[in-house]
Structure 1
Amino acid sequence: MTIRSVIGAVGAALAIATAIPAAAHDPGDVVTPHFAQAIPNIPGKTLTAFIVDYPPGGTSAPHRHADSSFIFAYVLSGEIESKVNDGPTQIYRAGESWHEPPAANHLVSRNASKTRPAKLLAVFVADSDEKALTTNIE
């Protein structure tokens, strides 16, 4: 499923519809739903995980994450350049991670390499009824 499409229900039992806008990413980026589960000891919260595959030189438009979402990002392979809110632009390599607070503005998110792909695990903890985890910054 490409990022240009809306991700359908993540976990049929939960029926969580997570919309990621088409304009937020370049063609070729692939976001794959990986896991979704209501958190039993935190009523109203769900943990949702995605694998984001960036092609060489792949990038995302600046975007904002949902007000209710706390995000943990872990680089599975390659190198990801990222800037969240007013923090510094940093390059994270395979095995490194960062977090994003609720309502974060993700101003830079791209593959740091023009020749090799990169892969990221993005884990969201958000309100279970959250409809859009990511929206473009206009």
Structure 2
Amino acid sequence: MTVPSADMAALGQLSSAYWAMSDLVEDIAPAELFEPEAVFELGTLTLEGLPAIEDFFAGRAESMREQGRTTRHFACNFLVLPDTADQVRVRSNLMVFSANGEIPLTADIPSGIADALDTCRRAEDGRWLFHRKAIRSVFVGPGAASFAR
């Protein structure tokens, strides 16, 4: 089964929006990205349902702002694997840098390199949303979040 180019573009935008939200460079609500019953796995952390995911990202954003923490996530190697016309799995790799203080920050080794496996479903309005987002650390460096270790 081939994934249409419009769907590939929409899935790429979904991923880019997620990382923009995570890095606090765009004010995007998790409800724009995740299904109501979504599951989010990040290292040792598992969140079930949109309210838990929203609480996590709200707390994370508040903590990052209080601590002066900056992150930048770089995702690549997107492999879209269709399950049905309205559900796909997306494999990717990511690298994250993090530091506290005023930008520009001194670059260091990445705080983490991880594998991601997302299950995305097409909503009734045609948008793609995360049904499950699973991120597993492969390499952990300084500055990694405790749940990523």
TM-score (norm: length of structure 2): 0.32
More strand by percentage: 1
Which has the greater radius of gyration?
Answer: 2
Higher helix share: 2
Q: Which is bigger in relative contact order (C-alpha 8 A, separation at least 6)?
A: 1
Give the alignment's TM-score, normalised by structure 1: 0.34
